[in-house]
Structure 1
Amino acid sequence: MNLDKVISGFFIILAMTLNFGFFYGEMHTVASHSKYELFAAIVVNLIATILKLGDKTQLGSVLLATSLVADIQLIAAATIWTVAIYSTMLDSEIIGMVVSLSGGALLANITSVILYVGDTIKSKR
């Protein structure tokens, strides 16, 4: 068993599940989406991105790209939420934007997990 692959796979899958946990719920309801879960999703996505930096293969490049997309979208979502809270304009439209951005990040994470699982299946024992 390759410990590096286990740790990397753990963070890739954890990033996806945390992102899904934030995304799931009523689209325009603030109570359905936890700011702490969004923060956790950002932190775990950043850790997953850092773990992907050393891979010099073509698949590693694609995995890094998907991770960077997820990072940018989650950070943009958190920025919009923060600005909306401090400008007292947090309404259903803003939450819809935040959830939509996290949905895009979720798609990037799902792509990353599919590629990772495909690579794992393809590799020799």
Structure 2
Amino acid sequence: MRTEKVVFAFFIVLALTLNFGFFLGDFSNVHHHNVYELFAAIVVNLIATVLKFGDRTHLGSVFLATSLVAVLQLIVAALIWGIHSATAGAEMDADTFSTIVSLSGGALLANIISVVLLVAETVNLRR
């Protein structure tokens, strides 16, 4: 067993599960989505992105691209949440929050692609 592959796979799968946990729930209900879970999803996705920088293969480039997409969408979602909280000061409206959750859904799709690629790469490995 190679430790670096275990760590790599761990962070890819953790990024997917944290993002899924934030995404799951009613789009317009703020109480179904935790800001700390979004923060954790961003941090773990950033760690997964850093781990993908060393791979010089074509598949590694696709891994990096999917990770960059996920990080970008999650950061934009957090920025929208932060800007709205700072300027509006009141309860989050359903339109703004559905945008935040939709961006998280796009990041979730990118994370799913990463996990599918990880599984495909693992299946193709020959001993």
Q: Same fold (TM over 0.5)?
A: yes
List runs of 5+ in structure 2 lacking aligned partners: none
Task: Name the SS for the 1:56 alignment partner.
Answer: coil
Structure 2 counterparts to residues 66-81 of structure 1, below 5 A: 66-81=66-81
Q: Gapped runs of 5+ residues in structure 1?
A: none
**Structure 1 runs of 4+ off > 2 angstroms?**
none
**1:112 is the counterpart of 2:114:** yes
1:51 aligns with 2:29: no
**Any residues of structure 2 matched to 1:24-43 within 5 Å, and which?**
24-43=24-43
Q: Does residue 93 in structure 1 map to residue 95 in structure 2?
A: yes
Deviation at 1:4, TM superposition (A): 0.6
> Cα distance, 1:124 vs. partner?
1.0
Q: Deviations over 1:75-94 (max 9, x none)?
A: 00000000011111621111
| CA deviation string 1:22-72 (max 9, x = no partner) | 000001000000000000000000000000000000000000000000000
The TM-score normalised by the length of structure 1 is: 0.98
Q: Distance in 2 between matches of 1:42 and 1:36?
A: 10
C-alpha RMSD of the superposition: 0.7
TM-score by length of 2: 0.97
**Equivalences, count:** 125
